[in-house]
Amino acid sequence: MLTDLVVVGYNINMTLQIYDIPDPFQVFVANKYANAKGAKYDFFSGEWDFNCLCCNEMLTAPNKKTLNKMRLYHTRSECLGGW
């Protein structure tokens, strides 16, 4: 999901080199939520993401209320096969 900005420069031998400079905001967001558990809001796609803690399946929804309903249905019906 991280997009890079490409900067072109020349070194001492006058050969073309490409330097990848990542966007600082995207790096900050990726590092901030690297170890987070539970629902995470993806600012760039505008959706909420959640990894099921039992089967590690990715669930996505447009808002947190819908994600919570999907999570409850998934864990009670699909993932754990009922209570």
Instruction: Give the DSSP H/E element, type plus range, for residue 49.
Output: strand 47-51
Do 43 and 82 reside in the same domain of the chain? yes
Give 34's pLDDT tier (boundaries 50, 70, 90).
Answer: confident
Across 15-38, average pLDDT? 77
Using the predicted structure, report yes or no on whether residue 11 has a pLDDT greater than 60: no
Do 11 and 24 reside in the same domain of the chain? yes
Straight-line distance from the first to the last Cα atom of the chain, in angstroms, rounded to the nearest whole number: 36
Do 50 and 80 reside in the same domain of the chain? yes
Do 14 and 48 reside in the same domain of the chain? no
The angle subtended at Cα 64 by Cα 63 and Cα 67, nearest 5°, is 95
Q: What is the pLDDT of residue 10?
A: 53
**Domain span at residue 47?**
38-83
Across 29-50, average pLDDT? 83
Do 30 and 47 reside in the same domain of the chain? no
pTM of the model as a whole: 0.55
Give 59's pLDDT tier (boundaries 50, 70, 90).
Answer: very high
- Residue 29's SS3 state is helix
Give 60's pLDDT tier (boundaries 50, 70, 90).
Answer: very high
Tell me what percent of the chain is helix, strand and coil, each rounded to the nearest 5. 30, 30, 40
Rounded-to-integer distance, Cα 33 and Cα 51, Å? 13
